[in-house]
A and B are shown apart, each in its own frame.
With several copies, the nearest count.
Chain A
Amino acid sequence: MHQEQCTTLTVLDNVPFGTVSGESLFFALRIERPEWADWQPGQFVMLRPEGWALDMMWARPFSICRVSKRDLVIFFQVVGRGTKRLAELKTGDKVVVWGPLGTPFAVEDKTPTLLLAGGIGIAPLVAYAQKHPQPWNLHMEFGHRMPLNCYPFESINERITAASHLERGPDDLAHFLDLIETSIKEYAESDGLVLACGPTPFLRAVQAFAAKHGARCQLSLENRMACGVGACLGCVTKTTDKMTAKGVAAGRAQACEHGPVFWADQIVLDED
């Protein structure tokens, strides 16, 4: 019935993108293509190097950024112990991968669709722009703190319009949020679609603007995950009474199964 698979795949290469004070913190990890029948943007994989032995038990979730005939590419940022060790992966190393997992972003061919990306949250939206049947209906606003060449901004489908905003301090942030609110309001008025992925404070702002202006909006969450398949209940998000997904009970939905993409009005974002 499902099509998820779990396989051990070989790393093709692990390419650093840009540098921050001389350090490489962003990588495009390219691995053998898994034998998937299909996948959709917004879905993710769980990935765990075999070399981790038992020290770190959990795989890490990453958005699918690109799948070609030969490879699967994810794009990641070093933030902690796991991603630090992912950065050390070399050609020929083995990784365990399962997926494609989760609920993808809504695709409405003819609807004007606004893509809001914060930092590394750009990864699934790169895939979205690539796979969309009518990309001329898409526009992206991308806010980031690190130099632009740290992110796969260049590789965004050329047929969509996209603007990037470097955030150097509170003023830049305020400006970016204003801009986002204005855009969300516009898209709401034309019954457009707003899709957002990024850090939680960013998603909280988007959620508030969408509620205020009545925009149809989806958010992609990055909750901590252990199993990735809906079993451990570690990644749940609180739901509102607007939640309609089948199988969601007790006001809690697993982000790995019923998300990571949720309709903004169906969830309550946690405090941290």
Chain B
Amino acid sequence: MNMNVTLPGSTGLQFKNPILTASGTFGYGVEFAPYGDLTSLGGIVVKGLSLEPRAGNPMPRIAETPCGMLNAVGLQNSGVETFITEKLPKLPTDELPVIANIYACDPAEFGELTAVLAAEKGIAAIEVNISCPNVREGGILFGQDATLAARVTEAVKKAAGDKPIIIKLSPNVTDITTIAKAVEGAGADVISCINTLSGMGVDIRTRKPLIANVIGGLSGPAIKPVALRCTHQVCKAVSIPVIGMGGIASAEDVLEFILVGAHAVQVGTSNFLRPDFSFRLVKELEQLMEKMNITDLEEFRGSLKL
């Protein structure tokens, strides 16, 4: 059985299986090391990094919703330098593709951040969060405007050297294909989609929003149909490889995203179902492929009958 994934094009990105963990839901990887073998995963995308340390949004930051959750963690992190000196060395980067997820307030800062990471051997690729709906200073705008999205992509690409860059799209747009085409045109090597849906919750007893930031990002199985639709549309619109995500909670779900054309997937909120979720998923995918007689994922990929 071949679960190996090689992204086409000049990226050189290879994963031993299509299951990666999504940014913000798997910490810096080390938190999950007691629950499974990190190197059994296709790859991990670490929590969003910024140039300077950030305190993130006020509490409460998370709330459970039907088949999902809202979050407005707001990119709390101790800055890219601390990541490189303290977290990255703890990861088995030789055997595990570690992807840095980055966030910044303007294209120049995106470039600066990329340059710092581009110098790191242990980083397999850079995923650019142009879609975070949580940080007020313009966070939502890059991902919702084709011109801005392209500008960020160019800035990152210029600074990335030979590191592949992945642009992560927001579903909170009228037409996701416009943005997808814009970032492809601006030099993105890979697209990942989707980030969270813009949502909200309130407590009728305290009469306050469930999360201090009022509006947060909805994730989990609840959004899977939207994520699958976006992945399908983006796969048809662009020719660069696509990493799909949103609500994946079973091996069947993984194959659904691959069926509509994704090369790989990321698992987010389901890591909270149990901390060994992603490790188990790799094994379950193998079993399911066996049961379904899928010997090669590339053959199955995009074979949706329309």
Q: Does B associate with A?
A: yes
Interface centre among B53, B60, B71, B274 (most CB of A within 10 A): B274
- A230 part of interface (Cβ distance < 8 Å): yes
| Interface of chain A residues 49 through 70 with chain B (CB within 8 A) | 54-59
DSSP majority for the A interface? Answer: loop
B27 touches A229 (CB 8 A): yes
B53 touches A250 (CB 8 A): yes
| Interface of chain B residues 66 through 114 with chain A (CB within 8 A) | 66-69, 71, 73, 76-78, 82, 86
Q: How far is the CB of B203 from chain A (nearest CB, A)?
A: 9
Residues from chain B with a CB closer than 8 A to the CB of A234 are 60-62, 71, 73
A56 touches B64 (CB 8 A): yes
Partner of A58, one of B47, B69, B77, B276: B69
Contact mask B37-74 → A, CB, 8 Å, 1/0?
00000000001000001111001111110111101010
- B6 part of interface (Cβ distance < 8 Å): no
- B26 part of interface (Cβ distance < 8 Å): yes
| Interface of chain A residues 195 through 237 with chain B (CB within 8 A) | 223-224, 226-237
Q: How far is the CB of B281 from chain A (nearest CB, A)?
A: 13
- B133 part of interface (Cβ distance < 8 Å): no
Q: How far is the CB of A224 from chain B (nearest CB, A)?
A: 6
- B139 part of interface (Cβ distance < 8 Å): no
Question: With A48-B273, A236-B76 known to touch, is A57 a contact of B64 (CB < 8 Å)?
Answer: yes
B274 touches A98 (CB 8 A): yes
Name which of B28-36, B119-127, B174-182, B259-267 contacts chain A: B28-36
- A251 part of interface (Cβ distance < 8 Å): yes
Partner of B272, one of A3, A232, A247: A232
Task: Name B27's closest neighbour in chain A (CB-CB).
Answer: A231
Q: How far is the CB of A245 from chain B (nearest CB, A)?
A: 13
A224 touches B60 (CB 8 A): yes
- Chain A: number of interface residues, binned into ranges: 35 or more
| Interface of chain B residues 204 through 247 with chain A (CB within 8 A) | 206, 208, 220-221
- A168 part of interface (Cβ distance < 8 Å): no
Q: How far is the CB of A249 from chain B (nearest CB, A)?
A: 4
Task: Name A80's closest neighbour in chain B (CB-CB).
Answer: B64
- B25 part of interface (Cβ distance < 8 Å): yes
B53 touches A232 (CB 8 A): no
Contact mask A1-16 → B, CB, 8 Å, 1/0?
1111110000000000
A4 touches B62 (CB 8 A): no
Question: Closest 8 A-B residue pairs measured CB to CB?
Answer: A231-B27, A234-B62, A249-B78, A2-B34, A231-B31, A226-B272, A229-B31, A6-B276
A residues lining the B interface (CB < 8 Å) = 1-6, 48, 54-59, 96, 98, 223-224, 226-238, 247, 249-252, 257, 270, 272
24 pairs across A/B with beta carbons < 8 Å? A1-B34, A4-B275, A5-B34, A54-B220, A54-B221, A55-B67, A56-B64, A57-B68, A57-B221, A57-B270, A58-B64, A59-B273, A223-B59, A226-B62, A226-B64, A227-B27, A227-B272, A229-B31, A230-B31, A232-B73, A234-B60, A250-B76, A252-B55, A270-B59
B residues lining the A interface (CB < 8 Å) = 24-27, 31-35, 47, 53-56, 59-64, 66-69, 71, 73, 76-78, 82, 86, 206, 208, 220-221, 249, 269-276
